Amino acid sequence: MNTTTNNICVVVICSNDSRIEWMPKAVDFLKSSFDRAGVESEFVSSLTHQTIGVHPSWYKLMIHRHLEWKYDYCLCWDVDLLPTNKHSVSDIINEIDKEKFYACMDTGVLFSNHQSDFIEIQGIVSKFRWNCGLLGIPKSQSLALESIYHLNNHSQKPSYEQYHLADYLYENRELVVDGNPLNNVLVQAVATSNTNHILQFALANCLHYSISDASVRSKMIQEHCFSKERIFRDTF
């Protein structure tokens, strides 16, 4: 593998639960996508610093410690966030500033055209802007995120770490690179919006299959992996 970007590692926290039918297909698809882009990647199914009862999504905030500080920059990538073309991964890597966080505007927030500092989602008022399914973390900021983890990892707020991290990112937004929103397009947000937003789906660089209906999610992910892998392979 070409490791010219070895100071950056794409990290995918995934499960080895064989009951999740789509998971191995998504992992294989992402591995081949990262390999094509020549970027180093790690797929993590167990975490050294895991705390009982804490959802794995929280471990993005501990990822540098878990990987023993090997990388200057970790790009945490949800396992259900899938590239739509051969250049998707490279396009994202090229947007990164290794001294800053990297995140894309949440699709639902983008569609709402929200202007004020605070936003209410799921009954929670926060400064939520960015979807953490694609989150770049410089090593220099890792201890700050660990503090958020330790203070809040048993929070009852929905969406795990996202609301707590959102406030920190908003207060330190000079340290955030606003990625192209097409790099993390939430399929559910597009499906429930009006038809004016359907183009967002068609132009997406990566589609995020965070869908509440588990059977629909599984079917869509497996179809995506099968069709796109064949296209990528035949046109490489």
Q: Flag whether pLDDT at 16 surpasses 60.
A: yes
* More confident position, 141 or 164: 141
What fold does the segment set 8-235 form as a domain? Spore Coat Polysaccharide Biosynthesis Protein SpsA; Chain A (3.90.550)
User: How confident is the model at residue 158, as a pLDDT?
Assistant: 64
Give the C-alpha separation, 140 to 67, whole Å: 14
Beta bridge partners of 40: 9
Instruction: Record the pTM.
Output: 0.86
If DSSP codes are grouped into helix, strand and coil, which group holds residue 4? coil
Query: Domain limits of the chain?
Result: 8-235
Q: What is the pLDDT of residues 103-120, one digit of tens each?
A: 998 887 776 665 555 555
- The confidence band for 194, taking pLDDT boundaries of 50, 70 and 90, is low
Average pLDDT estimate for 69-82: 96
User: How confident is the model at residue 180, as a pLDDT?
Assistant: 94
Q: Flag whether pLDDT at 91 surpasses 50.
A: yes
User: How confident is the model at residue 121, as a pLDDT?
Assistant: 56
Residue 106 belongs to what H/E stretch? none
